[in-house]
Amino acid sequence: MTNQILLACFYLIAFVFIRRHLKQAIALLAQRKQVNAARTTLVTRFINGLLFFITLVLVALSLGLGYQDISLFVSSAFAVLGVALVAQWSILSNITSGILIFFVFPYRIGDRIKVVDKDEDISGEIVDIALFHVLIRREDGTLINYPNNQILQKAVFKLSQESANNPKSPTQVPPSLPKP
C-alpha cells in the first residue's frame, strides 16, 4: 500500500513539475510569436486540463482502481461528450484548430493575409486570433470572423506591401519563401 501511495505522490509531483515547465514554454512561445495574453491563457488552461486528466487516471491506477473501472469511466465520459457535441462538432473542431494555430500558424496579428475562398474576398489585416476564430479587418473597415478550422483548411497568402495598397495585385509572397 505504501508503494501505491508513493507512486501516486510521484505522479502528483511530476504533474506540478511538468505543468510549471509547460506553462513557461507556452509563455516563451507566445512571446516569440507575439500572441496576446488571453489566447495564451486559454491554451495554457486547455493543456493543463489535459495534463490533469492524464495525471488523475495515473493516480487512480496507482492507488489500485482496476483498469476496467477507469476505462469504463473514461469511455462513458467520452460517450457523453460525443453525444453532447455531435450537433456542434464544429465547436470542437474550432477549439482544436485554435490550439494548432497557436503552435504552427505562420502569421501574426498585424500581418496582411488573403484566404483563398471562392465565395468571398477574405483579405485584410489580422486583428486578433482567438480560440474559435481569426478576426480580419478589410480595407473598408469591415471585420470578418473567420473560423479557425476553415483557415487551416484553405490556402492563406501573406500579402506583400505592394498588395497591401492594391488588394487585387497578384504579388503575394508565401511566408517561408524569400521575396523575388
Q: What is the CA radius of gyration of the chain?
A: 21
Q: Using CA atoms, how far apart are residues 53 and 13, in angstroms rounded to an integer?
A: 15
Predicted pLDDT at 171: 43
Predicted pLDDT at 81: 67
Predicted pLDDT at 124: 92
Q: For residue 82, what is its C-alpha cell? A: 460525443
- Using CA atoms, how far residue 77 sits from 13, 53, 65, 69, 82, in Å, is 26, 12, 17, 12, 8
Show pLDDT as tens, one digit a residue, over the chain (180 residues): 788 888 888 999 999 999 999 999 999 988 888 887 888 888 888 889 889 988 988 888 888 777 777 777 778 877 776 666 665 566 777 778 888 887 887 888 888 999 988 888 889 999 988 878 889 999 998 999 998 888 888 888 888 755 444 545 444 444 444 444
Q: Report whether 62 contacts 8 (CB < 8 A).
A: yes
Q: What is the DSSP letter of 10?
A: H
- Using CA atoms, how far residue 24 sits from 6, 11, 29, 46, 177, in Å, is 27, 20, 9, 15, 30
Predicted pLDDT at 71: 76
**pTM, two decimal places:** 0.56
Q: Report whether 40 contacts 27 (CB < 8 A).
A: yes
Place of cell 495525471: 55
Predicted pLDDT at 40: 86
